[in-house]
Structure 1
Amino acid sequence: MTIGEALEILFQGDDLDFSFEAYDGSSLGPSDASIRVCLRNERGLSYIMSAPGDLGFARAYVTGDLVIEGAHPGDPYDALILLMERTRLRAPSVAETLKVVRALGFSHLLPPPPPPQESLPRWRRALEHLRHSKARDAEVIHHHYDVSNRFYELVLGPSMTYTCAVFPKADSTLEEAQTEKYDLVCRKLDLQPGQRLLDIGCGWGGMARHAAKNYGVTVIGATLSEQQALWAQEAIAREGLSDVAEVRFSDYRDITETGFDAISSIGLTEHIGVQNYASYFAFIRDHLKVGGRMLNHCITRPDNRARAMAGQFIDRYVFPDGELTGSGRIITAVQDAGLEVQHEENLRVHYAMTLRDWNRNLRENWDEAVAEVGVGTARVWGLYMAGSRIGFERNNIQLHHVLATKTAPDGSIDFPLRPTWGS
């Protein structure tokens, strides 16, 4: 049995819009297809057979053992859509499975060493480290964010903002949309000159610099990525904001200052672990002054029932230990911490548009990106961003803003009768 014949068993009999070619000379699908999936060697077959699903596919793709011809590795979105929509697999019987495995070789069930970009499996990480301890959180942030500041400049653009943008118009540029995102957060927090803002999980300091420059506030930002902190500190100095803005290479839990007028958390909640929501929002409550506001910006699931853990590819290659849950669970945790939820908003479609533009940047800067981080890591990013874009487009994942206040014990609050921040 050839590899092509084995694969044919899994399809439901529909004509394919792409072709498959294997190193043993077998093929499947039309020879003139615009998209060709090429399995180049036995190691790729072993990756796929030993870890069926997204992890095995990712391993083979990242190493170059599986190639999608007709799709740019910096933006394989169209190919992924085609493969997802036109590939309907059926579950083979036990007899068929044994027949395929016997024909292709039981040795392929033994996994080859994973690509160097892959993190340890979750159970190994749990044994070696206490998950979401300060040391473990610092390690996983380093895995994802300390890739290369130059690489992030190529992908994210001048804003150096690695969170969902807010597009004021459908044809707005990515830079316009990232500026609008920061400004929307500032407006929701009702920042006023002379106030104090804490930005936890501050990244490269985009929120800190925008708030200090445009709203006259004093800002402390905290990030667990040393490379982010160094880049942010240089940008703050370059823009003449050193007297009003500071970014620390620090765990947010080590911030000792209190009495902040506002706290922003943009893209941090995904990393802290659902079981830590209580202490996380308690920290925010305890560091706000009475009457202060909190804005939490977080990727979410479309319901509150699904398991919080990410899929294997995301967990092993992108966000180790990352967890997502529904906005309802986040709102519950905010309320249980004693904060009053004032407003929530879903920006799901905006994140799909943001990822579209990041993929475009990676495609346009592909050669330099590969020179900076290597082709395997660049492939990881192209695949992850294109796949995430599809997830947001299809409502498999969402992005929510939750705005809350530290309301006075007697219920008094300085909050408008209706939202004043606009769209």
Structure 2
Amino acid sequence: MRLANVFQRITGGGGDVRFSAYDGSSAGPDDAPVHIEVRTPEALSYLASAPGELGLARAYVTGNLEIIGDAHGALAQLSEFSLREIPWAERLGLLSFLGRTRINNRVSPPPQETRLHGLRHSKERDRQAIAHHYDVSNQFYEWILGPSMAYTCAVYPTLESTLEEAQFAKHDLVARKLGLREGMRLLDVGCGWGGMVMHAAREYGVRAIGVTLSRNQAEWAQKAIIDAGLSELAEVRHLDYRDVRETGFDAISSIGLTEHIGKAKLPAYFRSLYAKVKPGGRLLNHCITRPDNLQPARTGGFIDRYVFPDGELVGPGHIVSLMHDTGFEVRHEENLREHYALTLAAWCRNLESHWDEAVREVGEARARVWRLYLAASRLGFDRNNIQLHQVLGVRLDGVKSHMPLRPEWLG
């Protein structure tokens, strides 16, 4: 069996993908919009040593396998990347072939794979995880995220809205759900580059504090706050949310932090936020979730080792139950899954338009990690393998919620 045919069968590649290999073999239509090239024996060695997404990622990140064309389109064709659809007789033959390849061409994981140390979701290990993903290059993130520097799901008013318009709409939706008004105090945990903090200060006159474990983010955000003339109202600290000493906030926003907390730590996380918001104050929790409560929380090998170490995703019902059991009265919930697919598509386009600069800035391997990660994440939202939920809760003031009779933010 020729190599291109082997790879085609292993990946379950559809009819719109062309495969070629270093032995001169090919499979699939010549005019396919996506071309996957197996450049070296090491590509199959990676697959043999780690079948599934991790082996594919290792081969692609190291350049031993190339995707020519749209990465999202390619992954959509390879979404069933496994051996389970191949008849047993052929499967045994393929495993034997790949086993010989591995023996003859032993490969080590690429250096871009991370291995963290210490107790899972301890402060020190969380710091390592955040540094791995965020303390890369602010310039690199600017190319991908655009001027808003918002690294969370945007909210698209229309399909024609720009990424910047959609990120403004997201921040404003959060502000309106929280009922922000001039003179209020907001705590934004996991604040990133300060987008929500600056929006609350600039648009609502709110005194806003943001905290992030990323030193790069904090330094960038503080400069942006000064440049925007918002220093009297806005502040971003390089700090663990667990170390915030102030309490009595009128509102708390958590936009894209919950994914880093860990399922076992979520009860303590919500208790901490409950203690920091005053009676009548609101919490808006915005995070990626599983589509249900039945799947394991830990992410797959590629995301865990290359992108978000120690990231964990739970179902939306789990989030709602924990907020409720902590003492928050849950008042509103919505799924923005399609909006995140649109957001990721925009980030993919930004990366491609700055590809050469990105490679010079962070190296080709890391740029390849991001190309694969953004495309795979977009596909995950397309296919409803992951979702994005906003859950709004209020800490009751006795029995009073101080909420409007109907959601004002839906107007």
The question of a shared fold, defined as TM-score above 0.5 by the shorter chain, is answered with: yes
Residues 337 and 381, structure 2, Cα contact 8 Å, conserved in 1:
yes
Shift of residue 3, structure 1, vs aligned partner: 2.1
Per-residue CA shift, 1:78-103, capped at 9, x if unaligned? 2222344899962342x544533444
Q: Which residue of 1 aligns with 2:100?
A: 106
Task: Give unmatched runs, 5+ long, in structure 2.
Answer: none
Partner of 1:68: helix, strand, or coil?
A: strand
Q: Which residue of 2 aligns with 1:178?
A: 167
Partner of 2:199: helix, strand, or coil?
A: helix
Matches within 5 A, 1:223-372: 223-372=212-361
Partner of 1:421: helix, strand, or coil?
A: helix
Q: 1:105 & 1:264 partners in 2: Cα distance? A: 50
Correspondence for 1:412 among 376, 389, 400: 400
Q: Which residue of 2 aligns with 1:33?
A: 32
Q: Which residue of 2 aligns with 1:58?
A: 57
Per-residue CA shift, 1:216-275, capped at 9, x if unaligned? 111110000000000000000101111111100000000000000000000000000011
Q: 2:94 & 2:343 partners in 1: Cα distance? A: 42
Shift of residue 25, structure 1, vs aligned partner: 2.2
Per-residue CA shift, 1:187-213, capped at 9, x if unaligned? 010011111100000000000000011
Per-residue CA shift, 1:63-120, capped at 9, x if unaligned? 110012234xxxx122222344899962342x54453344455351575122222123
Alignment-mate amino acid for residue 145 of structure 1: Y
Correspondence for 2:74 among 69, 75, 79: 79
Q: Assess, with a 3 A threshold, how the Cα gap between structure 1 residues 367 and 268 changes in structure 2: closer, same or farther.
A: same
Q: 2:3 & 2:241 partners in 1: Cα distance? A: 51
Alignment-mate amino acid for residue 218 of structure 1: R
Q: Work out whether 1:400 is the aligned partner of 2:399.
A: no
Residues 44 and 101, structure 2, Cα contact 8 Å, conserved in 1:
no
Aligned-pair Cα RMSD in Å: 2.1
Residues 17 and 74, structure 2, Cα contact 8 Å, conserved in 1:
no
Q: Work out whether 1:187 is the aligned partner of 2:176.
A: yes
Q: 1:243 & 1:111 partners in 2: Cα distance? A: 58
Correspondence for 1:148 among 137, 149, 169: 137
* Higher RCO structure (Cα 8 Å, ≥6 apart): 1
Alignment-mate amino acid for residue 93 of structure 2: K
Q: Assess, with a 3 A threshold, how the Cα gap between structure 1 residues 80 and 99 changes in structure 2: closer, same or farther.
A: closer
Q: 1:91 & 1:22 partners in 2: Cα distance? A: 21
> Is 254-263 or 35-44 further displaced after alignment?
35-44
Residues 19 and 31, structure 1, Cα contact 8 Å, conserved in 2:
yes
Q: 2:219 & 2:72 partners in 1: Cα distance? A: 33
Alignment-mate amino acid for residue 94 of structure 2: V
Q: Which residue of 2 aligns with 1:375?
A: 364
Count residues in correspondence. Answer: 410
Correspondence for 2:85 among 78, 83, 90: 90
Residues 83 and 91, structure 2, Cα contact 8 Å, conserved in 1:
no
Q: 1:29 & 1:386 partners in 2: Cα distance? A: 22
Q: Assess, with a 3 A threshold, how the Cα gap between structure 1 residues 111 and 273 changes in structure 2: closer, same or farther.
A: farther
Alignment-mate amino acid for residue 100 of structure 2: F
What TM-score comes out, normalization by structure 1 length? 0.92
Q: 1:382 & 1:204 partners in 2: Cα distance? A: 21
Shift of residue 367, structure 1, vs aligned partner: 1.0
Partner of 1:153: helix, strand, or coil?
A: helix
Q: 2:11 & 2:410 partners in 1: Cα distance? A: 50
Residues 223 and 249, structure 1, Cα contact 8 Å, conserved in 2:
yes
> Is 388-397 or 265-274 further displaced after alignment?
388-397
Partner of 1:129: helix, strand, or coil?
A: coil
Alignment-mate amino acid for residue 172 of structure 2: D
Q: 2:406 & 2:170 partners in 1: Cα distance? A: 20
Alignment-mate amino acid for residue 57 of structure 1: L
Alignment-mate amino acid for residue 102 of structure 2: H
> Is 196-205 or 111-120 further displaced after alignment?
111-120
Q: Work out whether 1:43 is the aligned partner of 2:36.
A: no
Residues 41 and 101, structure 2, Cα contact 8 Å, conserved in 1:
no
Q: Assess, with a 3 A threshold, how the Cα gap between structure 1 residues 8 and 333 changes in structure 2: closer, same or farther.
A: closer
What TM-score comes out, normalization by structure 2 length? 0.95
Residues 262 and 288, structure 1, Cα contact 8 Å, conserved in 2:
yes
Q: Assess, with a 3 A threshold, how the Cα gap between structure 1 residues 111 and 355 changes in structure 2: closer, same or farther.
A: farther
Partner of 1:180: helix, strand, or coil?
A: helix
Residues 342 and 404, structure 1, Cα contact 8 Å, conserved in 2:
yes
Q: 1:17 & 1:5 partners in 2: Cα distance? A: 15
Q: 2:55 & 2:350 partners in 1: Cα distance? A: 27
Q: Work out whether 1:21 is the aligned partner of 2:20.
A: yes
Q: Assess, with a 3 A threshold, how the Cα gap between structure 1 residues 111 and 297 changes in structure 2: closer, same or farther.
A: farther
Shift of residue 376, structure 1, vs aligned partner: 1.1
Residues 200 and 265, structure 1, Cα contact 8 Å, conserved in 2:
yes
Q: Assess, with a 3 A threshold, how the Cα gap between structure 1 residues 10 and 374 changes in structure 2: closer, same or farther.
A: closer
Residues 192 and 216, structure 1, Cα contact 8 Å, conserved in 2:
yes
Residues 194 and 218, structure 1, Cα contact 8 Å, conserved in 2:
yes
Q: 1:11 & 1:373 partners in 2: Cα distance? A: 29
Q: Assess, with a 3 A threshold, how the Cα gap between structure 1 residues 10 and 369 changes in structure 2: closer, same or farther.
A: closer
